[in-house]
Amino acid sequence: MSDKVIITAALTGAATRKEQNPAVPYTPEEFAEDAYKVYNSGGSIVHVHVRDPEHGAPTHEIEKIKTTIDAIRAKCPQIIINMSSAIGPWVTKEQRIAPVVAMKPPMASLNTNSMNFGIANWKTGEVPMEIVFENTFAMLIDFNRQMKEKGVKPELEIYDLGGLFNVLLVRKQGIFEEPMHFQMVFGVAGGVPYEPSMFSEMLAHIPEGATYSVCGVGPNQFRANMTSVVNGGHMRVGLEDNTRMPDGELAKGSWEQVEWAVKVAKLAGREVATPEEARKMLKLKNK
């Protein structure tokens, strides 16, 4: 089972909107239907940034988040829910972690370094929108503590080598439950784009016994995932990262990218893990 590949679908993120792809979910019903289609297409995990159903903006309101998470659980109880602890810009650190503590999902993202975080035009070099994404050492330690108390598995998001070495530094305190799980993120403006050499360097420093997945923003998505699956890693796709398919056409939903990932896994000679198998592989506690 250790050679099976776990496929995650990130359904929305904090920035992707229906204007970019009408399949981006806003309402609890849309999230639930998306999760169900992801599961039927071969995905084991959905990564969820809940939206305000009225206007589609990211929300930190626990009741709105609960409504969406409950809808996913009711429609597709098999799927593993991975909640965001980033949520969106201008949300306080207390508001970021509170929904995870309240909902106690099996997994949640744990961001590892403060950084410039922008939306960029990669052809012209223009950066029309940016924030400073705050993730201090104190937040890394505190968020992990609160997740650990609630039985939530942290997915450590590493946007560059700095984030990875931040984790390795505080790991010396013995604060993380082992084995750890990492997400290599390529292509954020402010992080690193996908390069085989950067993937290799990150992989070389992942702790022994840890698991890892890869995601890429825009065109980084497909190249990064193909590299991961042939090197024993796991895959993340979804409309948070890319609204399109490899041929440039708009994706019909995150589930269509999952179908692509399943085909790539088979070409790499790897079977796709079911949600129950993924739970065992990642040693998740909460159902």
273 — alpha (psi -120 to 50), left (phi > 0) or beta? Answer: beta
> Which domain, by its residues, includes 170?
7-282
What is the pLDDT, as a whole number, of residue 38?
98
What is the pLDDT, as a whole number, of residue 146?
98
Task: State the average pLDDT over residues 105-124.
Answer: 95
Say if residue 228's pLDDT is above 90.
yes
Helix spans in 21-179 (H): 28-41, 62-75, 93-103, 137-149, 161-171
Gyration radius from the chain CA atoms: 17
CA angle 176, 135, 212 (to 5 degrees): 45
Q: Confidence band (pLDDT; 50, 70, 90) for 70? A: very high
What is the pLDDT, as a whole number, of residue 237?
98
| φ, ψ of residue 17 in degrees (nearest 5) | -125, 165
Cα dist. 128→16, 187, 272 in Å?
Answer: 15, 16, 39
- Tokens at 119, concatenated: 């939306």
2 found inside a domain:
no
What's the CA gap between 255 and 11, in Å, rounded? 9
287 found inside a domain:
no
Q: Name residue 68's amino acid.
A: T
Task: State the average pLDDT over residues 136-157.
Answer: 98
Cα dist. 65→88, 241, 246 in Å?
Answer: 13, 21, 32
123 found inside a domain:
yes
What's the CA gap between 69 and 1, in Å, rounded? 29
Task: State the average pLDDT over residues 231-252.
Answer: 97
What is the pLDDT, as a whole number, of residue 122?
87
- DSSP state letter for 254: H
**Residue 72, SS3 per DSSP:** helix
- Tokens at 44, concatenated: 């084991």
Task: State the average pLDDT over residues 211-233.
Answer: 96
1 found inside a domain:
no
Domain count for the chain, please give it.
1
Task: State the average pLDDT over residues 60-73.
Answer: 98
- CATH number at 22 reads 3.20.20.70
26 found inside a domain:
yes
- Tokens at 68, concatenated: 């969406």
Q: Confidence band (pLDDT; 50, 70, 90) for 88? A: confident
The two beta strands, 129-133 and 115-119, are antiparallel
The neighbouring-strand residues paired with 181 are 155, 211
What's the CA gap between 166 and 156, in Å, rounded? 11
Q: Name residue 255's amino acid.
A: W
Task: State the average pLDDT over residues 149-164.
Answer: 98
- Tokens at 113, concatenated: 């370094």
60 found inside a domain:
yes
For the chain, what is the total number of helices (H) and then of strands (E)? 9, 10
- Tokens at 194, concatenated: 């996908």
pLDDT tens figures, 260-276: 999 999 999 999 999 99
Q: The tokens 């179908």 sit on which residue?
A: 259
What is the pLDDT, as a whole number, of residue 287?
85
Indicate whether this model's pTM tops 0.95.
yes
Work out the mean pLDDT of the chain and round it to a whole number. Answer: 97
Say if residue 1's pLDDT is above 80.
no
